Structure 1
Amino acid sequence: MNPRNVSYKLLITYLNMRLPTLKNPLGFHLLTLFLGISIFSRAQTNVLVLKKQLEVATSDTAQYQLYHALGTAYREVNIDSSLYFLGQALHIAQVRKDAARTAQSMYRLGHVYMYKLSDETQALEWLKKCVISAKQAKDNVLLARCYGIIGVIADHQNLPQEEWLLKALEYAKKTKDWQTIAAAYNVLTVVYTKKNKFAEAEQVAFEMMKLCEKNSKARWIWACLDYCKLLITRGKSQEAQSYLQKASMVGKSLMAKGGNSETIYPLIQLELQLAHYENAEKLVQQGMDIERAKPQPDSGTLLLMYKAQHQAYAGQRKFQQAYESQQVYINLALNNRNKEHKESSELQMTRLQAALDREKQTTEIMMLAEQKKQQQAFLLSTIVIVVLLVGFVFLLQRNKSRIELQKAELTMLNTTKDKLFAILSHDLRSPVAGLKNYLMLTDWGVLTQAEFANSTKNLTVQLNNVHTMLDNVLNWSFSQMRGIRPKRENVEVASIIEEEIELLLPMAQIKTIHIVNEISANVQIMVDRNHVAVIFRNLLQNALKFTHSGGKIRLSYSKEKDMHQFVIADTGVGMSEEQLQNLFQLNKTTSQMGTAREQGTGVGLVLVKELVEANQGTLSVTSELTKGTMFTLGFIS
C-alpha cells in the first residue's frame, strides 16, 4: 500500500472521529478546507475513472457500487453531485430489497447532510431510516456510527445524548473493530467532559487508550494526550506527567524504527504539550524532510507541519522564525486555494459535458448545481475575508486586554510594595524602639530586681513577635520572587505543634491563656515539615494575639474519608464580615492591634494561605465578633 495513502487515511479517520466534538467548528472547517486541497486531486482522478466504468457497467451490483463510490468521491468536489449519485445507489438497493446496501446508502446520505451541509434535521431522518435497515442487515458497524451521530445531534440540541452514545458503544464492541470502538469511546469521552463528569470521562478515555495501545502506537499517543488532559483537570498532574513521559518514550521508539507522517505528527503534539519546544522543532523539520522527499508531497500534511513549526518557534521565543514560518503557512494555503479554484473549474466543465452526453434530462439540474457552486465559492471567499478581519480585531482586543491585565498587576505590585515599606517603617519600628528602651533602663541600673525579671519576660515576648514578623515578611517576599516549592514527606504533626506551643508559652503565660492540644501523637500527613511549623506558629500566635487574658485556645483533629482536618479555635474578639473578606489580601488593611496592644504586619495569614495551598491543602475560617475565631486546615492523605 502507498505510504502516502496510509498517512492520509489515518489522519482523516482521526479527524472524522473527533469532528462532532470539537468546540470550535469554524476552526475545524478551515482545517478540513486545507486538507481538502490534497484530497481534491485524488477525488478528481477517482471521479473520471469511476464515470468511465459506469458507462460500461451492466449489472445492478456493479452500478450500485459505482454510484456509491461516485457519491463518496463527490463529497469533496460537489455536494449536489454527491447527493445525486448516492440517491441513485439507494434506488438500486431498494429495488433489489438489499437491506445492507440500503443501510450503507442511507448512512452516507445522513453523513453528507450532517458534516457537509450542516442540516441536522435531514441528517437525523436518514440516520433513523438507516438504523432500521442496519438492524435488518445486522450491520453493527453502521449501527454504531448512526447512534454516535444521533448522540452528537442530541448534544447540539441540548437534549439527553448519553443513552444514544452508550448504544453506539454497545454496537461498536460487537463489531470487534478497534477503530469503530475507539470512535465511540472518543465521542462519549468528550460528552462526559462537556457535562463536567470528569470521573466517567477519565474511565472511558482510559479504555480508549488501552484499545489504541494494542492496535496502533501512533493513535495511542493521541489517546494518551487526551487522557492526560483529563488527569490534569482532576488534579492528577503527577500521574499525567508519568503517562506523557511514557508516550514520549513510545514516540521515540517509533521514530527509531523509521519515522513517517503518522508517527511524527502525534509525537510533535506530545512534545508541544510537554513544552519541549526544541524537540518539537527537530521533529517538525524531520517530518518536512520526509514529506518533501516523496514524489508528490502532501500539501495538507505540510500545512500541519508549518503550523506546528510556528508553535515550536513561538514557544522558544524565536519570534522572527515564528513569523516567517507563519507566512510560509499562509502563502502555501493561499496558493493551494488558487490551484483548487483552477482545477475545480476544469473538473466542472468535464463533469457537465459528461452529464450532457449521458443524460440529456439532467441538463437543467447540472446547470443549477454549477450556479450554486459558484455562489458557494463566492460565499466561501467572503467568509474567509470576514474570518481574517474578525481574527485581526480579535488580536487587537486580546493585546488590549493583555495590556490592561499587566497594568492591573503592576498596580497591585506597587500597592504590595507600599504595604511592605509601611510594615518595615511602622510595625517593626515600634517593637524595636521598645526593646531599645528596656536595654537603656537596664544599662542605667534604674530597674529593681522584680522589674528586671518582669521586663525579661516582656523582652522575650517582644523578641518572639519581632522574630515572627521578620520571618513572615522574608518568607513571603521569598515566595513571591521564586515561588514556594515544598518538599513533602510523612510528618508527625503532634510533635511540631508541641514545639510551637513551647515556643509561644511565655506569651500565653503573660496573658494567662490556656492552650489545649487534643491532637494525638500518631497523626501523620504528607507535607513539608518547615511549612507546617510556620503555619501552626502563625495561627497559634494569631489566636494568642486576639484572645483576652484568661481565654482559651483549643487544637483538635478529625478525619473524613481521605482528608485530615485540624481546627484551631479561640475565644477571642472575633472578626466582622468585612474583615473576613479581606483577611488573606496583603494589599488590604487587615492588620490590627491585639488585646494587649500587640503589633502585627498582616503578612502572617497571607503566608499561611500560600503555604497551605502549596502543600495541596485547604484553609477556611469562621468568626463572629466577641465570640472567637476558628481556622480549619485540610490535608489530603
Structure 2
Amino acid sequence: MLPVSPLKKSALIPFFLILLSPPVTAQQPVNDSLLAVLRSHIKNDTARVNLLNQVARAYFTIDAPSAARYGREALRLSDSLHYSKGKIWAWRNLALVENTKGHLDQQMQLTLNALKLAETLGDSYTLGVLNNDVGNIFTELNAPRDALVYLKKSLDIKLQRNEKTEIAKTLNNIGSAYISMKVPDSAMMFLEKAEKLKLALHDRRSLAYTYENMGIVAMLQHRYNDALRYHQLSANYYREAGNLPGVVKSSLNLAEIQTMQGDLKSADKNLQQAKLLNDTLGNVKNEMIYYKIRYELDSARNDYAAAFESYKEFSKRNIDFFNAEKGRLISRSQEKYESEKKQRENILLKKEQHMHLATIQQQRVLVLSAAALFLALLLITVMVYRLYKRQQELYLELNNKNREVSMQNRIILEQNATLENLNQVKDKIFSVISHDLRSPLAILEGLLFLLKDEKIDAAQFRMYTDELWRDVKNTAYMMDNMLQWASNQMKGIGVKPDDFDVTLLLNREFDLLQTLARQKEVKLRHELNNSIMVYADPDMIRLVLRNLINNAIKFTPSGGEVLITATHDNEQAEITVKDNGTGIPVENQHRIFSNIYYSTTGTQNEKGCGLGLHLSKDFVERNQGQIWFNSMPGTGSSFSFTVPLSEEPEINPHAYTVVVQDHPLGGVSVLRR
C-alpha cells in the first residue's frame, strides 16, 4: 500500500469537518441516548439484548468496531437466554459490519444463519429484511440472477405487510441487481419507484443509496451530467447520515465521473478523501477500485509513470480479488455437491423404510387374519405358510438391495477419490495461471498499451525490457514445469532411457541460462570439460539441470557465482550445482522435496510455481538416481544428483574446453571447443 503523504493527511481535517455538519451532529444525541439507556439497564435479560442490537445497528456505518463489539455481546447473551429473536438480529448486525470490510463470504454465512432461524419462528417482518440482505450479497458477488430470487421474495412479503419504508429499500436493491445484469432501463424503472416512495417518506438516509444507483445507471447510459448530479446528491445524504462506507463509495463515484469530464483537480480531491477513509475501514474491493480510478486519472494527466504504477497496484489487487472469488465459487460447488449427496442418501433410506413398512404391514395382516379365522385352522396354516415364504423372499430381496447399495457406495468413493486428485491438479493449474502467469502478462499488457498509444517513448520502454525479458523466461520455465507436472499427474510420463553425453546436453542449455545470469550480473560457469556418457532419459535430465541452474540464479544476488561440477566412478555420475546466494532457511528445508509445493521469490522478486524441485526429484528417481542438497542460510546452497553411467563407453570420446570472456557490454560470454 502506498504511504500517505503529508499533503494527503492534511485533507483529513476538512473532510471530517464536513462529516460533522449539523445533520450529522443532530444524530449523535440519539446514539448517546441509546448508550445512556443501555448503561442504565444492567440486568442481563431480553430487554438488554434488544438495546445492544439497537446500538449495534445505529453504529455500524459510523464506528464498525464498536458495532461489532455490541453485536457479539448481544449474541452471547441471547445464546445464554435461549432468545432466538435476539440471536437473529445480532447475526444480522455482525453481517453488516463484515460488509463494511468487504468480507462478503462472512456476511453471507452470518445472514444465512439468521435466515434459517427466522424461518423456524415464522416472523414475516424479519424474513422480509433477511431475504433482502441475501439478495444484496448476491448482487455484490456478481450473481444478480440469484439475487433477484431473494429480492422478489422479500418484496412480496413487504407488499403484504404494506411497509412502505422497507418496500422502498427492496425496490432500490432490485434496481442494483438489474445494474449488475447491464439492463439499465429496468434498473431505472425500479429506482424511480424507490425514489418516489422515499421522497414521500422524507427518508433522506435511504435516498443516498438510490441516488448512488441512479448515478451508476446514468454513467452506463453516457449521461454524465446527470450522473454527476446524482452522485453529488448521494454524497450529501451519506454525509448527513454519517455513513462512512457510503461516503467512500460516493467519493470514488464522483472521482470517476469527474475524471471522464476532465475536472481532474476535483477528481484528485475526492480520491484522496476516499483513500483516507477506506484506510480505516479496510475494504479490499474499494481499495481495488481506488487504484483503477487513480490509473485513469494519472493517464488523463499524461503522468504515465504514475499511471503504470497505479495499474500494477490495481492488477495485483484484482488478481487477489479474483482468487478470493474463485475460492468462494469452489466452496459453493462443494456445498452443492454435499447437499446432492445427502439427498441421494435420503432417497435410499426412504426406499428402505418403505420396504420395512411393507413387511410390517404384512405381519399385521397375518395377526388380524389369525384372530378372525381362528376356527379355520387349516386355512390359517396355509396362509401363514404362504406369508412366511413371502417374508423370506422380501428379506432376500432386501439383502440383495443392501449389497447393491454397498457396491454403489464403494464405486462412488472410488470415483470421489479420482475426482479429488483431478481437482487438485486443476486447482494447482488454475492457481499458477491466475496468479503467477497473469502478473508478468498484466505488466507487459500495461506497457504495450502505453507504447501503442504513444504515451511512452521507445527509450522509456527499453528501461523495462530487461526486467520483462527475465519475467517472460521465468514464466516460460514455470509453464514447462507445470505442463510436465500436469501430464505426470494425469496420465503418467514414460521414461525413455538412452545413451547420451551429459556434457553436450549441458552445453546446449548453457547459452540461454548464461543470458539469464547476465541479466542479474551473476557469474555462471561449469567445469564439465570431458565427455560423460550416461544412460537415462535425456529430456528428463535436461529439465532437472535447467531447474537446478535456474533456481541457483534466482536465489543468487548480483555479483554472486553459480558453478556446475561433475564427478563419476565406475557406475554413476554425480552432478552438482553450487551457488553462494541466500541459502534456504532451516525451518523450510524439510519442505524442499516434499509433496507440499513450496515457492518463494528470488533476490529480484522472481516468481516460481513450486513444482520445479518436486518434478526434478521425481525425474531423477525414475532414472535410477538420487538427489539431495546442502544449504546454509546467508552462505549458499548446493544441489547434487546422480545418474547411471552408460555401460558402453563412447567410441570416439572428445573433450570440451570452456573459455569465459568479459563481454563488452557487461557480463560474460562462453566459448566452447
Common fold, TM-score beyond 0.5? no
TM range (shorter): 0.3 to 0.5
